Structure 1
Amino acid sequence: MPLRRCYPSDLTDEEWALLEPLIPAPKPGGRPAKVSRREIMNAILYVLKNGIPWRAMPHDLPHWSTVYHYFRQWQKEGVWEKAVQALVRRDRER
């Protein structure tokens, strides 16, 4: 996939280093992932920070249905709650 331009909502390397361990890795034995977890997170953040419908995502981000699938899957698995707890804990330790 060609490089795309950066959006203000994209994760920095430091932010991704904090979140990456909290995001489930691809399941072993399945098809290889076509889209990186970081790009999925960047697309989710784009939607959330800009308040747009999923289908209105820019075309240089992963397809909206892929992003929405992971958003819902991670929501059902409690990933968002774990991420918030980890970030709050890290902030309090500072």
Structure 2
Amino acid sequence: MSTFSGEDPGPVVFTTPGVNEYKVFAVISGYKSVDQGVLAGGQQVYAGAGQPLVVPYNTGIIVAWAIDFAVQLARGNPIGVPCVAA
């Protein structure tokens, strides 16, 4: 897993059909990646000792944690705007 590609973790939201109200149910903490070979001229590039050169490739699959944990942390460290989540 790689860390989230944005500056900060982001929310995962949903809405009930027909209702114009979004609710947060998770926080993105990272994304799944796979090693992708580096190619030059269509050929695999190798690093020292004959090891293939690879880079992490973002699969587009996120890793997210339920919002409950973040709400517990916010309530346990009350600074800033009051937390009104249920």
Q: What TM-score results when the alignment is normalised by the length of structure 1?
A: 0.27
Is the strand fraction higher in 1 or 2?
Answer: 2
Q: What TM-score results when the alignment is normalised by the length of structure 2?
A: 0.28
Is the helix fraction higher in 1 or 2?
Answer: 1
Larger radius of gyration: 2
